[in-house]
């Protein structure tokens, strides 16, 4: 029987909901199963309510699911808030000695979490580890997988902490085996022991992509949901040749990355909407000075501070239009962890090929949700740095002109210090040599030269993914992290005999006009599904193709779409 | 051998006749020649204003960026290639107004570069508005009620534990050459505040006004390693204005803390995707 199993761990901030959630996800991902995990937390350090959801399946999983098989309640509030999400035969694991007893109903499974932690591991902080052990025991999964993950995760805390955690987990595991044997009907069984998959979240994949692409400098100011990108690169950069600078503000971040890009290293910034607002002047600077820079914009609900720890896709138009004046740019939107890696690599190639900024749109949901995917094949990663002068050439060109006018608009790059070539550039309008000018002829020549790079960029568009179902009349259109839920919704609809087509955009700008026009002309009805209130993609489609999208399924409460929710909304508003 | 000719340039200069910037440009070229630096080893980073146009009037690599944002760009460039000699050039508006936050951060980090601030106590390029260092009560079109209490750049720098701090005067080129030479050669962040009379918009702090007041610290018994003495000199303004090396304190520079920069500069490091296999292992 197919496995599709949902587990939620809930509690307050500080109870280690996230830590054990990740451990659970990693243990379940260890032997061939597919995992999708996400988290929901408040903008606070202690208290409140947080949860971590893990979905595990032997099929590919692209999104969360609302109905739970197991709810692990680390506090009473979790039971009250999520009881209704339980499937009819689902089980709630809770601490009957700590929470008030409800074990009368069959779905409640009381485990003395705190007592076992204190008795077995002599540490009540390990209550959450006992709970994970209980989940593994209850679902019939392999304890060795869990202990292997615990050993790895706690290794840096020393042997004793690691051993105690394994003991705590075993106590929960044994208790569940002994007392909860028949509570659950479904079991989670490993599929293959040798399948090498990796489990990581969107930001980890993005940061890895950046480092693999050869990004040597990241400058940033912490802001949810982007902070963990720089944190990861700062940590791993110590061993892998990356400089991460925690700067005074996002204005500095952007200008620093542009300074590094001008000097010849691949550089990036990662922020959210508020930080990006501060970077906008520097974005135009990159456009004017023809400096490659990659800008990661991790969206969260706005305007202003909005809902800092939640998700939205409200900055599509902002990314398209940010910056004063006219200059070429590319905007890519990441749909999943695979794209977070591959498109980030590509963004560095595009930025250097066209010597202009590239904006990578992600959002809180993708940034913080974990997925199992096939290990990235690093031998197939292509690094293409665009037109660079060799050291020899740079040294023999004392009259080098950084902004040489060419047909493609691309001027061969030298780096300052590379040789006798002097690299001069200016945020003022400048001549080919980079010195400021005010005459009309040079202005027109340079402005058009820069904009000609758009022609090349249009030839490098990453085409949207169009999945066509025979006879399907409706096309669902999405971009960014909603694409996973849209694809799963389409799968479910197909099973119900109501097949739909799906169209997912990765490249937002330059806009894939011809592709989208041809798909829309073929579909009798279309609907965008976006996490915003103004249907920004539908607006862009209208502007670029002249074609109207028929429906807009929109959501802006800061929570991600689930496949079930999409189907429900389609039934109500479209089908 | 590097000569003044190497730092010459035929680009027409857009400064007002008699501007203090000419003397500063002359002094900078002399300092670079003194040190024997070839232009292609130097990177000038500047913002927007009259002073930041300076790099265009000499010879070297130039990143002329945004108003007030030269320091982050210079920091990025220096981290990307720490073999470059990086010289920042700004006016008092960019350095002490729009970009003052970056100045504090750069001093605190101690990035190895020279930052020249042409301080004429007024906005030149935008035509005569008050600057952060304008005298109290200075009346301009944007400050008809008079400018607020001026910012004290020397005291600010000392509070940020700047590694090298000097004040020069555009009216004394040879003295300024010595300061700029020391500033370029200093290992760490060097701020040189340069008193630069504006002949168009500041009728108060003129060459004459300064000549009557400035005196050289090196002519006195003065120890630039003494921070408390430096703080006291930083407060001196009015009848007597000290110029010269105010403070020097060698401490570790920002670039040195990064393992990535310990062997060769970032820009010379190869891109090698295969080195990241070990990181993928961690996600299995």
Closest Cβ–Cβ partner in B39, B62, B274 for A425? B62
- A548: pLDDT strictly greater than 60: yes
**Residue A235 placed within a domain:** yes
pLDDT of residue A182: 77
Give the pairing of strands B189-195 and A357-363: unpaired
Cβ contacts from A onto B, under 8 A: 196
**Residue A386 placed within a domain:** no
Helix, strand, coil shares of chain B, percent, nearest 5, are 40, 15, 45
Measured between alpha carbons, how far is B248 from A454 in angstroms, rounded to an integer? 50
pLDDT digits (tens, 9 = 90+) for B43-70: 999 999 999 999 999 999 999 999 999 9
Sequence-distant (≥ 6) Cβ neighbours of residue A312 within 8 angstroms: A299, A300, A301, A302, A306, A363, A364, A531, A532, A556, A558
In this structure, are A285 and A173 located in the same domain?
no
In this structure, are A56 and A189 located in the same domain?
yes
Query: Residues of chain A with pLDDT > 70: what percent?
Result: 98
Q: What is the mean pLDDT of chain A?
A: 95
- A103: pLDDT strictly greater than 90: no
Measured between alpha carbons, how far is A267 from A473 in angstroms, rounded to an integer? 45
pLDDT of residue A312: 98
Measured between alpha carbons, how far is A36 from A566 in angstroms, rounded to an integer? 18
- Which CATH number belongs to the domain containing residue A521 in this structure? 3.40.50.920
Q: What is the DSSP string of A210-226?
A: HHHTTEEEEEE---TTT
- A181: pLDDT strictly greater than 60: yes
Q: How many domains does chain A have?
A: 4
Q: What phi and psi, each to the nearest 5 degrees, are found at residue A199?
A: -120, 120
Q: Which two tokens stand for residue A253?
A: 């971040």
In this structure, are A188 and A206 located in the same domain?
no
Q: Which two tokens stand for residue B73?
A: 């760009």
**B275 reaches A (C-beta below 8 A):** yes
- A162: pLDDT strictly greater than 90: yes
Does A212 contact B284 at a Cβ distance shorter than 8 Å? no
- B155: pLDDT strictly greater than 80: yes
Q: Is residue A100 very low, low, confident or very high in pLDDT (cuts 50, 70, 90)?
A: low
**Residue A385 placed within a domain:** no
Beta pairing partners, A56: A5, A35
DSSP assignment letter at B254: G
pLDDT of residue B90: 98
Q: Is residue A102 very low, low, confident or very high in pLDDT (cuts 50, 70, 90)?
A: low
pLDDT digits (tens, 9 = 90+) for A458-491: 999 999 999 999 999 999 999 999 999 999 999 9
- A104: pLDDT strictly greater than 80: no
- B157: pLDDT strictly greater than 80: yes
pLDDT of residue A193: 63
- Of the candidates B82, B85, B7, B104, the one whose C-alpha atom is nearest the C-alpha of residue B44 is B85
Beta pairing partners, B62: A424, B44
- A101: pLDDT strictly greater than 60: no
Beta pairing partners, B244: B167
Mean per-residue pLDDT, A492-505: 96
Last residue of a domain, one of A195, A213, A234: A195
pLDDT of residue A195: 66
Closest Cβ–Cβ partner in B69, B79, B275 for A255? B69
Helix, strand, coil shares of chain A, percent, nearest 5, are 40, 20, 35
- Which CATH number belongs to the domain containing residue B242 in this structure? 3.40.50.970
pLDDT of residue A145: 92
Give the domain extent around B129.
4-281
Q: Which two tokens stand for residue A455?
A: 């022609």
Measured between alpha carbons, how far is A413 from A451 in angstroms, rounded to an integer? 17
**Residue A247 placed within a domain:** yes
In this structure, are A177 and A324 located in the same domain?
no
Asked whether the beta carbons of B236 and B155 are under 8 A apart, the reply is: no
Q: Is residue A183 very low, low, confident or very high in pLDDT (cuts 50, 70, 90)?
A: confident
In this structure, are A303 and A433 located in the same domain?
no
Q: How many domains does chain B have?
A: 1
In this structure, are A395 and A436 located in the same domain?
yes
Measured between alpha carbons, how far is A86 from A66 in angstroms, rounded to an integer? 9
- Which CATH number belongs to the domain containing residue A102 in this structure? 3.40.920.10
Helix (H, G, I), strand (E, B) or coil at A359: strand
- A109: pLDDT strictly greater than 70: yes
Does A263 contact B43 at a Cβ distance shorter than 8 Å? yes
pLDDT of residue B106: 98
In this structure, are A549 and A437 located in the same domain?
no
pLDDT digits (tens, 9 = 90+) for A384-395: 999 999 999 999
Asked whether the beta carbons of B59 and A422 are under 8 A apart, the reply is: yes
pLDDT of residue A194: 63
Mean per-residue pLDDT, B162-175: 98
Mean per-residue pLDDT, B239-262: 97
**Range scoring the smallest mean pLDDT among A17-26, A290-299, A336-345, B175-184:** A17-26
Measured between alpha carbons, how far is B240 from B190 in angstroms, rounded to an integer? 24
pLDDT digits (tens, 9 = 90+) for B5-22: 999 988 999 999 999 999
Residues of chain B with Cβ-Cβ distance to A439 below 8 Å are: none
Asked whether the beta carbons of A4 and A63 are under 8 A apart, the reply is: no
pLDDT digits (tens, 9 = 90+) for A164-179: 999 999 999 999 999 9
Give the domain extent around A493.
465-573
What pTM did the predictor assign?
0.96
In this structure, are A16 and A85 located in the same domain?
yes
Mean per-residue pLDDT, A95-102: 70
Does B66 contact A379 at a Cβ distance shorter than 8 Å? no
In this structure, are A166 and A285 located in the same domain?
no
Beta pairing partners, B89: B46, B116
Q: What is the DSSP string of A244-280?
A: EEE-SSHHHHHHHHHHHHHHTSEEEEEE-HHHHHHHH
Give the gap in angstroms from C-alpha B194 to the nearest C-alpha of chain A: 24
Last residue of a domain, one of A359, A380, A401: A380
**Range scoring the smallest mean pLDDT among A7-16, A417-426, A441-450, B55-64:** A7-16
Residues of chain A with Cβ-Cβ distance to B261 below 8 Å are: 243
Residues of chain A with Cβ-Cβ distance to B260 below 8 Å are: 216, 237-238, 240-243
In this structure, are A357 and A492 located in the same domain?
no
**Range scoring the smallest mean pLDDT among A55-64, A231-240, A413-422, A505-514:** A55-64
Q: Is residue B257 very low, low, confident or very high in pLDDT (cuts 50, 70, 90)?
A: very high
Provide the CA A231 distance to its chain's centre, in angstroms. 15
pLDDT digits (tens, 9 = 90+) for A35-64: 999 999 888 888 889 999 999 998 888 888
- Of the candidates A556, A552, A553, the one whose C-alpha atom is nearest the C-alpha of residue A564 is A553
- A1: pLDDT strictly greater than 60: no
pLDDT digits (tens, 9 = 90+) for B108-126: 999 999 999 999 999 999 9
Interface probe with B: pick from A33, A213, A402, A417, most Cβ of B within 10 Å: A417
Q: What is the mean pLDDT of chain B?
A: 96
Asked whether the beta carbons of A327 and A356 are under 8 A apart, the reply is: yes
pLDDT of residue A3: 83
Q: Is residue B185 very low, low, confident or very high in pLDDT (cuts 50, 70, 90)?
A: very high
- Which CATH number belongs to the domain containing residue A211 in this structure? 3.40.50.970
Q: Is residue A191 very low, low, confident or very high in pLDDT (cuts 50, 70, 90)?
A: confident
Measured between alpha carbons, how far is B19 from B40 in angstroms, rounded to an integer? 27
Measured between alpha carbons, how far is A497 from B25 in angstroms, rounded to an integer? 78
């Amino acid at each position: 029987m197919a496995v599709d199993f949902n587990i939620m761990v809930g509690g307050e901030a500080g109870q280690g909901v996230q830590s054990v959630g990740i451990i659970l996800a990693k243990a379940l991902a260890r032997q061939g199963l597919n995992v999708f995990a996400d988290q929901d937390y408040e903008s606070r350090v202690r208290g409140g309510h947080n949860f971590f959801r893990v979905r595990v399946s032997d099929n590919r999983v692209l999104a969360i699911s609302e109905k739970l098989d197991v709810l692990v309640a680390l506090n009473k509030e979790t039971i009250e808030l999520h009881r209704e999400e339980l499937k009819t035969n689902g089980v709630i694991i809770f601490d009957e000695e700590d929470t008030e007893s409800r074990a009368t109903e069959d779905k409640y499974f009381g485990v003395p979490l705190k007592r076992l932690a204190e008795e077995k591991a002599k540490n009540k902080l390990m209550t959450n580890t006992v709970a994970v052990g209980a989940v593994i025991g209850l679902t019939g999964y392999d304890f060795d997988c869990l202990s292997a993950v615990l050993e790895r995760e706690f290794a840096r805390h020393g042997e004793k902490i690691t051993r105690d955690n394994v003991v705590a987990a075993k106590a929960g595991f044994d208790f569940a085996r002994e007392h909860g044997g028949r509570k659950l009907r479904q079991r989670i069984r490993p599929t293959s022991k040798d399948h090498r998959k990796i489990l990581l979240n969107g930001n980890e994949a993005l940061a890895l992509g950046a480092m693999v692409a050869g990004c040597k400098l990241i400058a940033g100011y912490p802001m949810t949901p982007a902070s963990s990108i720089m944190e990861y690169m700062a940590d791993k950069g110590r061993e892998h040749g990356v400089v991460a600078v925690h700067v005074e503000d996002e204005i500095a971040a952007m200008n620093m990355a542009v300074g590094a890009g001008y000097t010849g290293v691949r550089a990036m910034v990662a922020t959210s909407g508020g930080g990006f607002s501060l970077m906008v002047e520097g974005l135009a600077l990159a456009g004017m000075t023809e400096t490659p820079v990659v800008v990661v914009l991790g969206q969260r609900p706005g305007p202003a501070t909005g809902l800092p720890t939640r998700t939205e896709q409200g900055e599509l138009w902002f990314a398209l239009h940010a910056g004063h004046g006219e200059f070429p740019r590319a905007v890519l939107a990441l749909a999943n962890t695979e794209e977070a890696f591959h498109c980030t690599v590509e963004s560095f190639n595009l930025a250097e090929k066209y010597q202009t900024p590239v904006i990578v749109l992600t959002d809180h949901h993708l940034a913080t949700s974990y997925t199992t995917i096939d290990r990235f094949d690093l031998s197939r990663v292509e690094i293409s740095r665009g037109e660079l002068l060799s050291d020899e050439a740079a040294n023999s060109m004392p009259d080098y002109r950084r902004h040489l006018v060419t047909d493609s608009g691309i001027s061969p790059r030298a780096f300052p210090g590379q040789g006798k070539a002097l690299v001069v550039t200016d945020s003022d309008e400048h001549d080919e040599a980079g010195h400021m000018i005010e005459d009309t002829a040079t202005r027109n020549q340079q402005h058009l030269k820069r904009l000609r790079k758009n022609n090349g960029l249009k030839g490098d568009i990453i085409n949207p993914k169009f999945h066509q179902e025979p006879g399907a009349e409706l096309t669902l259109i999405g971009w960014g992290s909603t694409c996973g839920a849209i694809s799963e919704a389409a799968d479910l609809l197909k099973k119900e005999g109501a097949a739909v087509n799906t169209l997912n955009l990765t490249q937002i700008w330059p806009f894939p006009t011809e592709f989208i026009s041809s798909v829309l002309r073929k579909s009798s009805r279309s609907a965008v599904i976006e996490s915003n209130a103004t249907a920004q993609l539908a607006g862009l489609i209208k502007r670029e193709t002249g074609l109207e999208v028929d429906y807009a399924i929109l959501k802006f409460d800061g929570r991600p779409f689930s496949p079930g929710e999409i189907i429900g909304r389609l039934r109500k508003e479209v089908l | 051998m590097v000569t003044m000719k190497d730092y010459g340039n035929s680009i027409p200069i857009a400064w007002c006749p008699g501007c203090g910037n000419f003397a500063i440009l002359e002094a900078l070229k002399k300092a670079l020649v003194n040190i024997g630096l070839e232009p292609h080893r130097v990177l000038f980073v500047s913002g927007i204003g009259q002073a930041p146009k300076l790099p265009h009037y000499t010879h070297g690599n130039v990143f002329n960026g945004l108003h007030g944002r030269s320091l982050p760009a210079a920091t990025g460039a220096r981290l990307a290639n720490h073999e470059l000699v990086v010289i920042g050039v700004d006016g008092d508006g960019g350095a002490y107004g729009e970009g003052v936050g970056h100045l504090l951060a750069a001093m605190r980090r101690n990035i190895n570069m020279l930052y020249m601030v042409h301080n004429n106590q007024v906005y030149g390029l935008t035509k005569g508005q008050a600057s952060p260092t304008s005298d109290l009560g200075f009346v301009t079109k944007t400050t008809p009620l008079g400018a607020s209490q001026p910012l004290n750049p020397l005291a600010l720098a000392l509070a940020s534990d700047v590694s090298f701090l000097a004040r020069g005067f555009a009216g004394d080129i040879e003295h300024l050459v010595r300061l700029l030479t020391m500033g370029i050669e200093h290992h760490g962040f060097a701020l040189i505040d340069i008193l630069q009379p504006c002949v168009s918009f500041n009728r108060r702090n003129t060459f004459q006004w300064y000549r009557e007041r400035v005196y050289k610290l090196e002519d006195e018994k003065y120890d630039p390693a003494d921070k408390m003495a430096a703080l006291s000199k930083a407060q001196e303004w009015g009848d007597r204005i000290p110029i010269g090396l105010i403070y020097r304190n060698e401490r570790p520079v920002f670039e040195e803390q990064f393992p990535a920069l310990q062997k060769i500069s970032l820009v010379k490091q190869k891109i090698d995707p295969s080195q990241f296999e070990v990181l993928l292992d961690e996600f299995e």
